[in-house]
Amino acid sequence: MDLDSITVALRSFWTVWLALLFTGIVVYAMWPGNRGKFEDASRIPLKDDGQEF
């Protein structure tokens, strides 16, 4: 194997790896069981905790 063929193989590997990672993140975010966690987290900026700045 020369350097060019290794480079092509690694580029293909990273493309597949990042596509799988992206798909996994999207599936995790859209999973019905996680809906409550994300809804609670989305309300954090609007929550009044009584602190004055």
Convert the pLDDT of each residue in 20-33 to its tens digit.
999 999 999 999 99
Q: How far apart are CA 9 and CA 1, in angstroms?
A: 11
Banded pLDDT at 38 (limits 50, 70, 90): very high
Average pLDDT, the chain: 90
Q: pTM here?
A: 0.64
b (16+ CB within 10 A) / e for 13-28: eeeeeeeeeeeeeeee
Q: How far apart are CA 52 and CA 21, in angstroms?
A: 41
Predicted confidence (pLDDT) per residue in 40-51, tens digit: 999 998 888 777
